[in-house]
C-alpha cells in the first residue's frame, strides 16, 4: 500500500489526483508542520525536512517533491495519461512541472516564511521579503499562462500531471485573484481542470466549494 503524508489544502492534493489517475490504492496520513496534533514525528522519520507531500512506496522507498512524485507515478503507469504520449508534448509537460516547482512553489515558500530568507529580525523587513516574493510569484504565473497553452488541457485531451500541479499551486498566496484580473483565460482553464472528474472529487475533499 502506498502511504501519502499530507494535509487538506496542501500539495498532497496534486499527488492524490495523480494516484487516482493511475488507479493506485493508497492510505493518507495527516501530517504537517502547522498541525500540532498531526503525525509530525512519523513524517519526520521518513522525511527529516517535514515536507508534505511525502509518498512512501510499497517497497519503503521515500518520494518527496510534488513534481518528482507526479513524474514517478506517470512513468510507473504509462497508460494513465499523466503525461502526453507525443515526445514533444511530453517534454513541454515535464518542463511545466519543473517550472512550477522552481518558480511558483519556491516563491510561495518565501512568501509563507520570509524570516527564513533574511537575517533581518524586524517585521518591516519580513514584509518587504514577502511582498517581493508575491510579486515574483504573480509574474511567474503570468509567464506560465503565456508559455503553456492548453490542448485542450495542459496535458492534452484530459487533465494530467501538469494540470494537477497547476490547479493546486495556483490556489495559494492569493494567486487566483491576481490571475483573474491579469489572465482570465488561464483562470477559466483552471476552473475547467477542477471541474473534470479526474480532479473535482479531490478538490472538493480539500477545499469544499471554495
Residue range 134-140: mean pLDDT, rounded = 98
The answer to whether residues 166 and 103 touch, using CB atoms and an 8 Å cutoff, is no
CA distance 97 to 70: 9
Task: Report CA torsion sign: 87, 185, 161, 156.
Answer: negative
- 208 pLDDT above the threshold of 80: yes
**With DSSP H G I counted as helix, E B as strand and the rest as coil, what are the percentages for the chain, rounded to 5?**
60, 10, 35
- 146 pLDDT above the threshold of 90: yes
The answer to whether residues 28 and 4 touch, using CB atoms and an 8 Å cutoff, is yes
High-pLDDT (> 90) share of the chain, %: 99
The answer to whether residues 143 and 82 touch, using CB atoms and an 8 Å cutoff, is no
HEC string of 63-88? EECHHHHHHHHHHHCHHHCCCCCCHH
pLDDT value at residue 98: 98
The answer to whether residues 4 and 55 touch, using CB atoms and an 8 Å cutoff, is yes
- 210 pLDDT above the threshold of 90: no
pLDDT value at residue 26: 98
pLDDT value at residue 209: 83
pLDDT per residue as tens digits for the range 44-76: 999 999 999 999 999 999 999 999 999 999 999
Domains of the chain, residue spans: 2-80, 87-200
pLDDT value at residue 81: 96
- pTM value is 0.96
Query: What dihedral do alpha carbons 168, 173, 178, 179 form, nearest 10°?
Result: -20
Q: How does DSSP assign 2-38, residue by residue?
A: EEEEE-TTSTHHHHHHHHHHTT--EEEEE--TT-TTS
* CATH no. of 87-200: 1.20.1050.10
Residue range 16-43: mean pLDDT, rounded = 97
* CATH no. of 2-80: 3.40.30.10
The answer to whether residues 27 and 3 touch, using CB atoms and an 8 Å cutoff, is yes
Neighbours of 8 (CB within 10 A): 13
Give the CA diameter of the chain: 52
The answer to whether residues 57 and 63 touch, using CB atoms and an 8 Å cutoff, is yes
Amino acid at each position: 500500500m502506498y502511504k501519502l503524508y499530507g494535509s487538506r489544502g496542501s500539495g498532497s492534493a496534486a499527488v492524490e489526483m495523480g494516484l487516482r489517475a493511475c488507479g493506485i490504492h493508497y492510505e493518507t496520513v495527516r501530517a504537517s508542520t502547522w498541525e500540532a496534533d498531526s503525525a509530525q514525528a512519523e513524517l519526520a522519520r521518513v522525511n527529516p525536512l517535514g515536507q508534505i507531500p511525502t509518498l512512501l512506496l510499497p517497497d519503503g522507498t521515500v518520494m518527496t517533491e510534488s513534481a518528482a512524485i507526479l513524474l514517478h507515478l506517470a512513468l510507473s503507469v504509462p497508460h494513465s495519461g499523466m503525461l502526453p504520449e507525443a515526445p514533444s508534448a511530453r517534454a513541454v509537460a515535464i518542463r511545466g512541472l519543473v517550472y512550477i516547482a522552481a518558480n511558483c512553489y519556491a516563491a510561495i515558500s518565501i512568501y509563507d516564511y520570509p524570516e527564513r530568507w533574511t537575517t533581518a529580525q524586524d517585521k518591516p523587513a519580513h514584509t518587504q521579503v514577502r511582498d517581493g516574493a508575491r510579486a515574483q510569484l504573480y509574474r511567474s504565473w503570468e509567464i506560465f499562462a503565456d508559455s503553456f497553452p492548453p490542448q485542450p488541457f495542459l496535458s492534452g485531451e484530459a487533465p494530467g500531471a501538469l494540470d494537477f500541479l497547476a490547479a493546486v499551486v495556483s490556489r495559494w498566496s492569493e494567486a487566483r485573484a491576481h490571475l483573474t484580473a491579469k489572465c482570465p483565460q488561464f483562470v477559466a482553464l483552471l476552473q475547467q481542470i477542477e471541474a473534470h472528474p479526474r480532479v473535482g472529487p479531490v478538490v472538493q475533499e480539500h477545499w469544499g466549494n471554495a
